[in-house]
Structure formats: structure tokens, C-alpha cells
Amino acid sequence: MSTATDAPTFVPPSSRPGLGTVVPYEWFRPVRITLMWTYLVGYLLWLKYRGLTVDRVSVAIAVGIFLICAFVGRTWRTWGVLLVDCIAYCTMWVAYEKTRGAADDGVSFFGLFRVKFPLQVETFRNVDRVLFFGHDPNVVLQDHFWERTVRWYDVVAGTTYMTHFVFPMIVMAVLWATSHRQWTRFIKRFATLLGVACFLFVVMPTVPPWMAGDSDWGYNLFHELHRNAGRGFYHIGFESFRDGYKLALSNGNGVAAMPSLHASFALIVPAFFLPWIRPKWLKAVVLLFPVVMLASLVYLAEHWVIDGLVGWAITGGVFWFWNRMERRGRRTKAHRARMALP
């Protein structure tokens, strides 16, 4: 042991032998790494030849296969924890899908009575008009930029839009494999965001811009808007994405539009990693992603601007809440330890 110090600092290792010289090599480690790289290659090949898996079930299967690769050779307890995590993860998505489906049907209380909330047709459109001095951002963007041919910004918008279906799930899978603590932190924020969003979907079913201008629906708030969010994405060679994309939409609910989860998911991932990003310019670049997402959503007539802003506000609130709760948890444990110390 070294000499006295007031506060513990750590003695750096000198030229002492590493643990690898005494601890047997963990042969499952290279197996896991090889499997994960193989999975990545397989995923990219699938992406190229079969398309992006965007429906919940396919994504869950893809995540499951990755986790098996990442957890090969781990302890039984670790597998048990993973199983519990997976059950919670699937429950979260099923609850989300079911609740979202109730956005236009209302909520049934044990089959006795049903509470149905009024459909918001003009409310958020009017908020947008106030924010943009009497203009409809969706209409203005489409009138200025939408062309019959696909332009570069259609590719950007379509690709950004499609990342929603896989980006947060990829982050979750990687966190699952690398740090269970960080996965837990992320999933708490993510699940809370989904919960709040589902609550608002039910109490504030909202007509999105594409529906507001669609003559088939009869709202006719403005002229009909183009709705083909994926066309820019298909244009760069991912034609087979279309099937999966339609399948994903078929599980959705047209009026589950407030808040925008596209905008929220696009913010939650950069916001989660922001503390580890040091250069300010890189932070700014990373935070451009949710801005591009919201601009894409408005241009593609998927959401009102206010949908995205509320989505961001909820994401910010979720981070504030959980940061506070986690700090409080650490304080409580530290307090308990200090109380037990002599």
C-alpha cells in the first residue's frame, strides 16, 4: 500500500503483468464478436436484397437474433435478465400498438362504457398558422418543393423519415449488448415517452395534414397534399422497402398524430448520447437530425409543426424527470451508506 493521502486517488499500474496472464482467456468473446459482425453483414445483405424490416414483429425478431449473437457464452443469470428485459420490451410495444389503435375508437372501460375524445381537425392547424403568420407550412413546402421527379431533398426527407422504424431499436440493441445500465437508462426514457404519447393519442386524436387536405376524408382544409413519404428512399434503390412500409402503416392509426413520435425518436437518441459528445460543433451536428426530421415530416405532410414541437417538449420533459429520479436514487443510496457509517 502507498503512503497516506487525504482523498483516495489511484495508483497507476507500472509494468506489472496484465490480468490476461493469470485469468484464462474467455473463448466466447471472439465467438460473440464474430457472430455480431456476421449478423451485421447479414443485416446489410438483407437490407440490400429484401428491404428494411420496419414492422414491429420483424424488427423484434431482428433485435432478438442480434441479442442471441451478443449474449452467447454469458452466464445463466445474464440470460435470465435478458429474458425479463425482452418480456418488458415486447409488452411495451404491444401496449403501445393497442393504445395507439384506440386513438379514434376511444377507451373502453371493462366493456361497460366507452369514452371517446373529439377528433381535433383544425386546432393544431390553427396553431401552425399562428406560428407561421397565417401560412400552412405543409402547403407552403409542398407547393414550393414537390415535383413529379424525385429531387435530392426527397431522398433526404424520405431516408430521414424511414430511420424512425429502426434507428432507436438499433441503439437499444447495441446498448443491450454493451451496457445493461445504459440500456436501462435509455429504455426508461423511451417507455415513458411512449406512454405519454399514447395517452395524448387517445385524448387528442388529431387529423394530420395529409388527411386534412384529402378530399376522400372530406375535411378540405386546403388543397390535396402529396403523401408518399418513402418515395425518396425507394428512389435510391430500396424498392422492396415498400411492402414492409405499408405493413407498418397498416398497424398504425391515422389520427394518432399528436405528438409526433417521429420527431421524438429523432431527438431521444441524440439527446441520450449528448453528454458523451465533447466537441460543441459535433453536438450541433447531432442535434440537426431531429430538425431535419421535423422539416421532413412537415414537407411530407405527415405532421403539423406543432406535433413535432410537442414531441420534442415531451422528450425534454422525460429526460428532466428521469435525470432527477436517477440523481435522487444515487443520493438515497449514498445517504443510506453514510447513515450506516460510524
**Shortest Cβ 332–another protein spacing (Å):** 8
Candidate ranges 71-79, 241-249, 299-307, 308-316; the one touching another protein (CB under 8 A): 71-79
- CA dihedral 159→171→293→248, nearest 10 degrees, is 60
**Shortest Cβ 316–another protein spacing (Å):** 20
Q: Are strands 113-115 and 107-109 parallel, antiparallel or unpaired?
A: antiparallel
Taking the C-alpha atoms of residue 13 and residue 89, their distance in angstroms, rounded to an integer, is: 42
Residue 279: other Cβ atoms inside 10 A: 8
Interface size with another protein, residues (CB under 8 A): 43
Taking the C-alpha atoms of residue 157 and residue 232, their distance in angstroms, rounded to an integer, is: 7
**Shortest Cβ 261–another protein spacing (Å):** 25
Taking the C-alpha atoms of residue 137 and residue 198, their distance in angstroms, rounded to an integer, is: 25
Q: What angle do CA 251, 104, 314 make, to 5 degrees?
A: 80
DSSP state of 276: G
Verify binding: residue 24, another protein, rule CB under 8 A: yes
Residue 181 in grid coordinates: 445500465
Please name the amino acid found at residue 336.
Answer: R
Among 135, 151, 324, 336, binds another protein (CB under 8 A): 336
Candidate ranges 7-15, 32-40, 98-106, 218-226; the one touching another protein (CB under 8 A): 7-15
Among 109, 110, 113, 276, binds another protein (CB under 8 A): 276
Q: How distant is the alpha carbon of residue 5 from its chain centre?
A: 47
Verify binding: residue 112, another protein, rule CB under 8 A: no
Site string for another protein, 170-199 (x = CB under 8 A): --------xx-xx-----------------
Among 26, 105, 122, 143, binds another protein (CB under 8 A): 26
**Shortest Cβ 179–another protein spacing (Å):** 6
Taking the C-alpha atoms of residue 228 and residue 142, their distance in angstroms, rounded to an integer, is: 12
CB–CB of 271/185 below 8 Å? Answer: no
Residue 220 in grid coordinates: 378540405
Q: Which is nearer to another protein, 77 or 280 (CB)?
A: 77
What are the φ/ψ torsions at residue 109 (nearest 5 degrees)?
-100, 100
Q: Which is nearer to another protein, 28 or 145 (CB)?
A: 28
Among 45, 69, 77, 229, binds another protein (CB under 8 A): 77
**Shortest Cβ 308–another protein spacing (Å):** 28
Verify binding: residue 285, another protein, rule CB under 8 A: no
Q: Which is nearer to another protein, 16 or 148 (CB)?
A: 16
Question: Is the bond preceding 259 in cis, omega lying within 30 degrees of 0?
Answer: yes
Residues near another protein (CB under 8 A) are 1-13, 16-20, 22-24, 26, 73, 75-78, 178-179, 181-182, 276, 330-334, 336-338, 340-342
